[in-house]
Amino acid sequence: MLLTLFLGKWRRKSQTPRENDNQHLYQLIERIHQGEDEWRNELLEQYRPFIGTAVSKVCKRYIHQSQDEEFSIGLEAFNEAITGYSVEKGSSFLSFADLVIRRRVIDFIRKNRQRISMVSLDESADPQAPEYNVWDVQAAVERHQLEQEAEYRREEIFHYRERLQQFEIELEDLPDYTPQHADARINMIHIARIIAEKPELRQSFLEKKKIPVKYLLQYITFSRKTVERNRNYIVAITVLFIEDYQYLRSYIQTEDIEGKGEPRDEEGHRAQAAGSLLDCDDAGRGIS
């Protein structure tokens, strides 16, 4: 009896979130948001391997937790994700945290490159040389911003590819799954938006990795056969709506798709914005 009580207390005390125990993880994050900050260190310690893996993906090398400064950046980013996460964001916490880590590590790497470049310029600069032209400086700043956005977009593509693989979809195959007619694309995007916005549909979609057709049919007028025939395209767009993709989502930012109007056949040309999403296929191949 005493042993049973002891083990029960030990389990409760040592209980930390597991990657497949999303409900428990969300409960701890909610408790942290309510002021129980002692759980923050528990999460940071528990997910050190996850953080290391996320950082390694960006750096393309093994990361030593005690030696590489990039890991510290990842740790800070994970802590930022704990503070900034909300279930209303749609995506799972770990998926959201992964994106935050990637972005912060990219920022760190680019700042280091920029600092090294500036030091190099300072060391090689001729004291008699004229000051930099203001237009050259402006051009350099704009070029830096474009390069940073390109890296963000690249990491989002990497992340998007990984998420699609969880649904047994390959990014390179998306053109084959895209409806040929514009009005059909609009309608499937409308379905994807419903899945992403309805909490019960979104939760089932993320947990079971499939479209909750039975419950979805309560919100749409399309048949089960239509949904199942366009399954992969609907999944791909749903993931785009759910995840925190600041750049990839711009491919589907149209008035109809963003919910300001219902899908209409005469406005099918607007689906071309969603079709542009498939341009990511070429980008994805280029960064493999």
DSSP sequence for 182-220? HHHHHHHHHHHHHHHHSHHHHHHHHHHSS--HHHHTTT-
DSSP category for residue 259 = I
DSSP sequence for 128-150? TSPPPPHHHHHHHHHHHHHHHHH
Q: Is 87 exposed, middle or buried (0-12, 13-18, 19+ CB in 10 A)?
A: middle
- Distance spanning both ends of the chain, measured CA to CA: 57
- Alpha-carbon span 92 to 205, nearest angstrom: 11
What per-residue confidence (pLDDT) applies to 133?
52
State the fold for domain 20-116: Rna Polymerase Sigma Factor; Chain: A (1.10.1740)
Q: Which pLDDT tens digits describe the chain residue by residue (288 residues)?
A: 433 333 343 333 434 344 446 778 888 999 999 988 889 999 999 999 999 999 998 888 899 988 889 999 999 999 999 999 987 767 789 989 999 999 999 889 888 765 544 444 444 445 554 454 545 545 555 665 677 678 888 888 999 999 999 999 999 999 999 999 989 999 999 999 999 999 999 999 999 999 999 999 999 999 999 999 999 999 999 999 999 888 887 766 543 444 444 444 333 333 343 344 544 443 433 332
What per-residue confidence (pLDDT) applies to 2?
37
CB 252 within 8 A of CB 274: yes
- The pTM of the full predicted model, rounded to 2 decimals, is 0.63
Q: From the DSSP assignment, how many helices (H) and strands (E) are in the chain? A: 15, 0
| Neighbouring residues of 122: CB distance < 8 A, sequence distance ≥ 6 | none
- Alpha-carbon span 108 to 105, nearest angstrom: 5
| Neighbouring residues of 53: CB distance < 8 A, sequence distance ≥ 6 | none
- Give the chain's length: 288
**How many Cβ atoms sit within 10 Å of the Cβ of residue 15?**
12
Give the containing element (helix H, strand E) for 222.
none
- Residue 163's identity, in one-letter code, is R
* Long-range contacts of residues 20-28, Cβ cutoff 8 Å, at least 24 apart: 22/92, 22/93, 22/207, 25/93, 25/94, 26/87, 26/93
Distances (CA, A) of 64 to 56, 91, 99, 111: 9, 28, 20, 20
DSSP sequence for 36-50? -THHHHHHHHHTHHH
What per-residue confidence (pLDDT) applies to 166?
93
Where are any strands of DSSP class E within 46-116?
none
Nearest to 44 by CA among 9, 16, 11: 16
Query: Residues spanned by CATH 1.10.1740 within the chain?
Result: 20-116
- Alpha-carbon span 266 to 256, nearest angstrom: 12
